[in-house]
Amino acid sequence: MELSNKTRISEFLLLGFSERPELQPLIFGLFLSMYLITVFGNLLIILAISTDPNLHTPMYFFLANLSFVDICFTSTTIPKMLVNVQTQSKVITYEDCITQIYFLILFAVLDVFLLSVMAYDRFVAICHPLHYMVIMNPRLCGLLVLVSWIMCVLNSLLQSLMMLRLSFCTHLHIPHFFCELNEMLQLACSDTFLNNVVMYLAAVLLGGGPFAGILYSYSKIVSSIRGIASAKGKYKTFSTCASHLSVVCLFYCTMLGVYLSSAATQSSHSSATASVMYTVVTPMLNPFIYSLRNKDIKSALKRIFWGQVM
């Protein structure tokens, strides 16, 4: 009977950022604004790329996919949090929680894979410019995105299914604004050793592997740029990958900041606040980084809003 009470969990409570009633309208307005900016900003990037023939290149193909993933990533957590704040309810069902974990892992790892693929694209463009269109042909670009999706779907499915084998006790409060995998494992009553092994192994292989690829690509890019004689040529070449490098630094620095803040404070509420950086702020800033630093994107956006530009 006791085992049955442990395993038949129907819902969890998401504690969010604060339980103070006077702060709830501020939290709702802030996150609604950031969510709308994220969605519309990334949709504009996708629209600009899809409507402008000049942007039908491998680099912008990957950027459009990244924007789509960023929309999905934020849509996994923010709408549910906004509904909970508006209805003054902290409840999330067990099924919704597992589903949220699945899509969170899927889109977070897919972000990493796409950033790695984009780094490879910049490596080929700068280090092998004469063979760029031959190497980065439509078939290879589509294959890179397809393989990324397949690997991320399988990883996310594995970790979500492994959550189903766990039993949970009476303490069902999640000190977060979404169902975070590590927090869920800490709530489990049953043995989580296998789950932790899979989680950390996936983090090393699917997180560290692409990151190593990004470092290798940029090491080759830096070597190639150093070989350019003129300062103007160096600047022009570097500017083609500056936006991507900015996004990579923002993404990984915020992830590292979340990990260090969690390790230093041992406070789940501090971790929840820090995680806003990579779950909300980074996807929101990506369109600004690419549009403000990219003349082609700015020209395409001008044509969308004001017609043909001179």
Does the residue 146 lie in any domain? yes
CATH number for position 80: 1.20.1070.10
Judge whether 157 lies within some domain: yes
Q: Going by C-beta distance under 8 Å and a sequence separation of 6 or more, which residues neighbour residue 97?
A: 12, 179, 184
CA distance 82 to 283: 17
| Average of per-residue pLDDT values in the chain | 88
Query: Considering the domain boundaries, does residue 202 fall inside one?
Result: yes
Greater pLDDT, 1 or 245: 245
Do the domain assignments include residue 249? yes
Q: How confident is the model at residue 262, as a pLDDT?
A: 61
Report pTM.
0.91
Q: What is the per-residue pLDDT for 37?
A: 96
Q: Are 304 and 51 in contact (CB under 8 A)?
A: yes
Long-range contacts of 46-49, Cβ-Cβ distance < 8 Å, separation of 24 or more = 47/304, 48/297, 48/300, 48/301, 48/304, 49/297, 49/300
Using the structure block, give the residue that is written with the tokens 């410019």.
129
Domain range for 156 is 11-294
pLDDT of amino acid 168: 85
What are the tens digits of pLDDT across the range 171-216?
A: 688 888 899 898 888 888 888 999 999 999 999 999 999 999 999 9
Residue 184 lies in a domain: yes
Domain count, the chain: 1
Residues 224-257: tens digit of each pLDDT: 999 888 888 888 888 888 889 989 998 888 777 7
Tell me if 107 is assigned to some domain.
yes
When pLDDT is cut at 50, 70 and 90, the band that residue 4 belongs to is very low
Q: Which residue has the tokens 């803040």?
A: 261
